[in-house]
Structure 1
Amino acid sequence: MGRLSRLWYRVTSTFWFAPALIVAGAVLLAFGTVEADARYVTAGALEAWPRLFGAGASASRSMLAAVAGSMITVAGTVFSITLVALSLASSQYSSRVLRNFMRDRTNQAVLGVFVGIFAYCLVVLRSIHGEADEAFVPSVAVFLGLLLGFGGIGMLVFFIHHIAESIQASRILEAVRRETCGAIERLFPDRAGADDDPDSWPDGSGWHEVRRADTTGYLQVVEFERLCDLASAHGVRLKVHVGLGDYILPGQVLLSTCPAPPEGLGDELAGACTIGRQRTLEQDVGYGIRQLVDVALKALSPSVNDTTTATMCIDSLTAILAELAHRDLRFEGCERGGTRWIDAPHPRFEDLLDQAMDQIRHFGRGNVAVLHRLLWSLESLGARTSIRARRLALSRQARRLHGVAGRELDDPDDQRSVLEAAGALLRTLDTDHG
């Protein structure tokens, strides 16, 4: 991911970018319609449709002022409703999902439309001057302001419908799943996976540190293409010591080279690793899994006790892991000219599977519906990969579920059903790749 694409990703993730564009467009529209009105439209419009465009200066001012005042009031209401939705989502699901509300294009567009109509009316209102016969009234611009006011009413109704849908668990989980799968498609093209990395690398004594962290935070992005260009240009191999999404302390080693780095390479590597206040999904696929697991744990807590939401989280996790199960999870951009220049901690399917399953299994250990859904997930994933290491990881998870059912389920029928399902799954996994 290049710097421009990273900047675009971050800017479009903010809550102010889309509204700012809409306001700028509304201001330009106002200036354009007023200017066109003054030069080409006014006389002909008044003659052809006097009842539509024949409002006087005083009536036009009053109408535009009413539309502008109502729009800025509604904009404040929209902002308040959005904050209430954010608070509800944070308490009901997880604070990690708030970013999805911030990136919601509909929420951004609705706020931008109301503020944009307000800005449009102000600009047109400013252009009206004079009284009686000598007054200048941009009739078409004023009429367009009236239409925008009606459009704002429809937008308010649509926003209420959208916000009511957006706080539903299904919408929140689908948004996380879709964004995570999009990151998987971008980071790991549909290539066959492998059990291990065939490249050989120097042992620990062969590396020389070249760059340390100068701040605290989470590793969000590593510019592998840039690192590979610099490594191949200087004839050294580079090692990234920190995984995407890991927390970094000041002075922690980020990059090392083998052999010793040439003079000035450390300065050239500045900015190749982006550290921020929170994890993001730009390159950190595990963060999407973490969000879904957090929602599932909240649903399984005694205060909420929402088994349906927990099983929906397992379904979304299964969809994400199914996208990962058959892919090569090494980052692109680490190889150039047939030589692998960058050694970086890449995600392992086994680790991601443990992140998705372990805590849900622990907190749902007495819930037969959750245990059955986890077994279904493992069975579905087993059908998506033939890689031995990944199937062994699925078997380990199935054995853990088998043990949990034997220890935690009190009802004999529930216990028997889970044990039978776990046993059948283990036989399938072990028979296919024993």
Structure 2
Amino acid sequence: MDRLINFFHQIRTRIAFYPTIISLAGFLLAFLMIYLEQKNISAYLNEVAPALVIDNTDTAKTILSTLIGGLISLTVFSFSMVMVLLNQASSNFSPRVLPGIISDQKHQIVLGLYIATILYNIFILISIEPTENTYQTPGFSVLLGIILVVVCLAAFIYFIHHISQAIQVGNILTAIHSRTKSEITSIIEEQEVNTFEFPNHEHWEAYEITETGYFYGVLNDDLLELCKENSIKVIIQLHKGQFILDGTIGFKSEKPLNDELKKKITSTLLFSNEELIGENYIYGFRQISEIGVKAMSPGINDPGTALNTIDYLTSLFLNLMRKADFEYITDEEKENWTRIKCVKFSEVLFNVMATYRLYCKHDITVMRKLMHMLKTLTTHVVNSEQLEVIEKEIDELRADANSNIENKRDLGKLDADFISWS
């Protein structure tokens, strides 16, 4: 089941996923209507509501041909707008925001509706037979085709509105923040009901990975079943997002494993040739910080967006501080069978701060905002180690500011409370 769910999560992010399913539905609807037309459903509708039935074959063909041509033009235009959106998002923000836009279900459903309606009208047009019998004209099917086109026009209006909202940086940041916060919160909720007990692993057996690619997760249920069946506990030495080379130590076990069991455990580790953005909360920090840094580039020159990204990062860091350094796979009796390595708070904070300090050290407003973020984090630390890490980042930030900002008055404001003027 884990493998099936993992496969579904991978394919649903593809831009063709929902269009393919909806198009198949349109294809099947066309054949259903052809079957119903053979049962003279149009003749019945002509008796009940004759004004709704198109009983002229030439008129029906003309209408369907016009609808098909118009919808094809509408589909091409909509796909072109998606490509423009992706290009603009990549240029102005970060190429890493593209998977989130591509996987937007609303875009996929609208495009799928277009293609399904085109397929429906094409097969209904083909089904029209050259005869003088008015009841051979699929009047009801043509009426349904017209209704579907009207629905497509309404979907196009919604599509224009939604795509204009999707390209706004505020909405992109909000979406990334919400997704990342949700992932961190779910991990925190799990750790609150679990224990952190795990055996000492100093002398455990270590096993190498023969795969190459990005590690993005574990098939939890499958690995838990293997551990319980063989009465072994395992430590996963990889963290999500790590690029794995052949020969990397992948996991440790508390007792030696035979080749078959080693192969089974390795098969529960998931690897990909590309970074799967939606599978790792660390990418949320990376995406937001990249958008902020890109906003400070001379070509974009948008410090306001950089300030907004720091607000979102502050919120995420407050949640990340509550997360433990390890994740566990636990059974129903709350016994931990597997421990999984995670990126620590100190590493995430350093990577974010190092990026901002390099590209924003000349801007006193952004530097003040970063200082405000760090001081805010000091009031929410969970342990002394986090406080020590944050204080080091404060010292580094102050040192960069002193080296790159010449105005003494500006430097004097570095430690003052940040008041937003936007």
Tell whether the 8 Å contact from 1:187 to 1:332 is kept in structure 2 after alignment. no
Which AA in structure 2 matches 1:207?
W
In terms of mean alpha carbon deviation, does 102-111 or 373-382 score higher? 373-382
Taking the aligned partners of 1:312 and 1:220, their CA distance within structure 2 comes to 29
1:113-144 CA deviation, whole Å, 9 max, x = no partner? 11111011012212221322255122122112
Change (3 A) 1:357 1:50: same
Taking the aligned partners of 1:380 and 1:35, their CA distance within structure 2 comes to 67
CA drift at 1:17: 0.9
Tell whether the 8 Å contact from 2:188 to 2:322 is kept in structure 1 after alignment. no
Which AA in structure 2 matches 1:212?
I
SS of structure 2 residue aligned to 1:327: coil
Tell whether the 8 Å contact from 1:289 to 1:356 is kept in structure 2 after alignment. yes
Taking the aligned partners of 2:259 and 2:193, their CA distance within structure 1 comes to 38
Asked if 1:244 corresponds to 2:240, the answer is yes
CA drift at 1:329: 4.8
CA drift at 1:265: 1.1
Q: Under a length normalisation based on structure 1, what TM-score does the superposition of the two structures give?
A: 0.88
- Picking from 333, 356, 360, the partner of 2:356 is 360
| Aligned residue number for residue 425 of structure 1 | none
Taking the aligned partners of 2:196 and 2:82, their CA distance within structure 1 comes to 47
| Aligned residue number for residue 227 of structure 1 | 223
Taking the aligned partners of 2:240 and 2:362, their CA distance within structure 1 comes to 34
| Aligned residue number for residue 129 of structure 2 | 129
| Aligned residue number for residue 204 of structure 2 | 207
Taking the aligned partners of 1:150 and 1:336, their CA distance within structure 2 comes to 52
| Aligned residue number for residue 19 of structure 2 | 19
SS of structure 1 residue aligned to 2:326: coil
Which AA in structure 2 matches 1:408?
N
SS of structure 2 residue aligned to 1:189: helix
Query: Which blocks of at least 5 consecutive residues in structure 1 are unaligned?
Result: 423-434
Tell whether the 8 Å contact from 1:211 to 1:256 is kept in structure 2 after alignment. no
Tell whether the 8 Å contact from 1:227 to 1:272 is kept in structure 2 after alignment. yes
| Aligned residue number for residue 97 of structure 1 | 97
Asked if 1:375 corresponds to 2:375, the answer is no
Tell whether the 8 Å contact from 1:56 to 1:132 is kept in structure 2 after alignment. no
Change (3 A) 1:202 1:333: closer
| Aligned residue number for residue 8 of structure 1 | 8
SS of structure 1 residue aligned to 2:413: helix
CA drift at 1:302: 2.3
SS of structure 2 residue aligned to 1:132: coil
| Aligned residue number for residue 411 of structure 1 | 407
| Aligned residue number for residue 390 of structure 2 | 394
Identity %: 23
Change (3 A) 1:282 1:163: closer
Which AA in structure 1 matches 2:27?
V
Which AA in structure 2 matches 1:118?
I
Which AA in structure 1 matches 2:104?
D
In terms of mean alpha carbon deviation, does 185-194 or 127-136 score higher? 185-194
| Aligned residue number for residue 314 of structure 2 | 318
SS of structure 2 residue aligned to 1:332: strand
Change (3 A) 1:368 1:238: same
Tell whether the 8 Å contact from 1:180 to 1:281 is kept in structure 2 after alignment. no
CA drift at 1:61: 1.2
Change (3 A) 1:136 1:186: farther
Taking the aligned partners of 1:247 and 1:304, their CA distance within structure 2 comes to 31
Tell whether the 8 Å contact from 1:23 to 1:113 is kept in structure 2 after alignment. yes
Tell whether the 8 Å contact from 2:326 to 2:339 is kept in structure 1 after alignment. no
Taking the aligned partners of 2:169 and 2:158, their CA distance within structure 1 comes to 20
| Aligned residue number for residue 138 of structure 1 | 138
Matches within 5 A, 1:7-406: 7-39=7-39, 41-133=41-133, 136-189=136-189, 191=191, 199-203=198-202, 206-214=203-211, 216-281=212-277, 283-333=279-329, 339-406=335-402
Taking the aligned partners of 2:313 and 2:190, their CA distance within structure 1 comes to 19
